[in-house]
Structure 1
Amino acid sequence: MSEFQIVALIALAGSLLLVAPGLAGRGMTLSKGLRLALVWVGLFAIVTLFISVISP
């Protein structure tokens, strides 16, 4: 793992630490959060597959 990947992981962890209390304050449960995350991952996967199919 390069130093750039380590810095990116630290930034990602820091972002999650900043966002998690805000979501908990709005009543976001862990299961609801995971469900929403899976929906977003699915949307990005579908768009990526669509673009890769239609591009020459």
Structure 2
Amino acid sequence: MKRKPEANKLCLSCRRPCKQAAAVVISSCPRYYPGPKIKRENWKQLEFDLISSL
């Protein structure tokens, strides 16, 4: 079974399959295609007053 070499940090966020090895130094890539920006929301846990309702 073949293991994939570790990808370069710039290539990790790219959607293209042409990932470069981690040993390669890349400052920019003309084929860089970032993934879609996903809006994330942090949900807060609601606090219920369980002790007073007993």
TM-score, normalising length from structure 1? 0.24
From the two aligned structures, give the one with the greater helix fraction.
1
Higher relative contact order (CA 8 A, sep 6+): 2
Q: Find the structure with the greater CA-based Rg.
A: 2
TM-score, normalising length from structure 2? 0.25
